[in-house]
Amino acid sequence: MRKVSAISALVYMGLSTLAAGLFLAITLAGDYSWVARLGGSAWIFLLSNIVLMPVVIPAVKKRLGA
């Protein structure tokens, strides 16, 4: 069980970080303040974690056969 949770956390944290980084990269082209860019990236990271957590954990559990 511990292996499933560690792998799941790695997957959804990685995907959330990727989404936040993509958001930051997209906003670099616009005329936004750094507070807006970093705040938006943090918001995207947080919401991605909330959405991906209940999706990724069962998928990893199923894939590992746990």
User: Residues 2-59: pLDDT tens digits?
Assistant: 899 999 999 999 999 999 999 999 999 999 999 999 999 999 999 999 999 999 999 9
- Beta-carbon contacts of residue 5 (< 8 Å; ≥ 6 apart): 57
Are the beta carbons of 42 and 5 closer than 8 angstroms?
no
Query: Rounded to an integer, what is the distance from CA 34 to the centroid of its chain?
Result: 20
Are the beta carbons of 59 and 12 closer than 8 angstroms?
no
Model pTM score = 0.88
Q: How far is CA 30 from CA 34, 47, 53, 54, 57, in A?
A: 11, 22, 30, 33, 35
